Amino acid sequence: AQSVTQPDIHITVSEGASLELRCNYSYGATPYLFWYVQSPGQGLQLLLKYFSGDTLVQGIKGFEAEFKRSQSSFNLRKPSVHWSDAAEYFCAVGGGSNYKLTFGKGTLLTVNP
Amino acid sequence: DVKVTQSSRYLVKRTGEKVFLECVQDMDHENMFWYRQDPGLGLRLIYFSYDVKMKEKGDIPEGYSVSREKKERFSLILESASTNQTSMYLCASSPPAADTQYFGPGTRLTVL
């Protein structure tokens, strides 16, 4: 069975600081991996995705993520956080003919001025 | 741009009422999904559909049913709403295979 673990429920960073959100997955084959962001009261917006190829993936809003097969991880990073990045972030895994995605429980990001 | 719309942003219903949540997508996607989102539990899949009139149970189907009569529309039905169904409901659509899911804005349902 596929699963996703986001170890950090809540992270607080200062504006301008760097950010890393952790994601570990369990999947029996080559995974498709996603990061989504949800602003308060809104639906989920795709930040980036990994299907194959280069393990460092660039997304929108200056985010990037690195797929590390040996560690079963897909951590999200941003070099300098902006106040508008405050939101909840979800990692998800799926793959192949299985069109279901499994989501982590999310990490809430607070940005201090 | 893919657009997924949901019929209501906020909904308040009484216990025992029949509730319909509607979702429409404009990208001719084969797959459509209904999730509920609760604090600390993340997104949990209720039902999904991979074609018109086709549906499969997700992880928490109890108390819910769905209908997909047209490709663009996927409805979630609460036959007899209960207070433990108070939640945020999110609809999504995707092309075939495990490709990107596109989400609607969500419906926050309160059952009194």
Model confidence over B5-58: pLDDT tens digits?
999 999 999 999 999 999 999 999 999 999 999 988 889 999 999 989 899 999
Q: Does B42 touch chain A (CB under 8 A)?
A: yes
3-state SS, residue B85: helix
User: B54, B101, B107, B109: best mutation site toward chain A, by most A Cβ within 10 Å?
Assistant: B101
- Output the CA–CA distances (angstroms, integers) from residue A91 to A38, A41, A51, A108, B89, in the order listed: 11, 18, 14, 12, 18
Q: Using 50, 70 and 90 to split pLDDT, how confident is the model at A97?
A: low
CA distance A14 to B105: 28
Q: pLDDT tens across B49-86, in order?
A: 998 989 999 989 999 999 999 999 999 999 999 999 99
Closest CA to A105 of A96, A94, A92: A92
User: B43, B45, B107: best mutation site toward chain A, by most A Cβ within 10 Å?
Assistant: B43
Nearest CB to B94: which of A43, A99, A103?
A: A99
Q: pLDDT tens across B51-60, in order?
A: 898 999 998 9
Q: Is A25:A72 a contact under the CB 8 Å cutoff? A: yes
3-state SS, residue B24: strand
Query: Which chain A residues are within 8 Å of B98, Cβ to Cβ?
Result: 32, 94-101
Q: pLDDT tens across A53-82, in order?
A: 889 999 999 999 999 999 999 999 999 999
CA distance A23 to B42: 14
Q: Is A42:B105 a contact under the CB 8 Å cutoff? A: yes
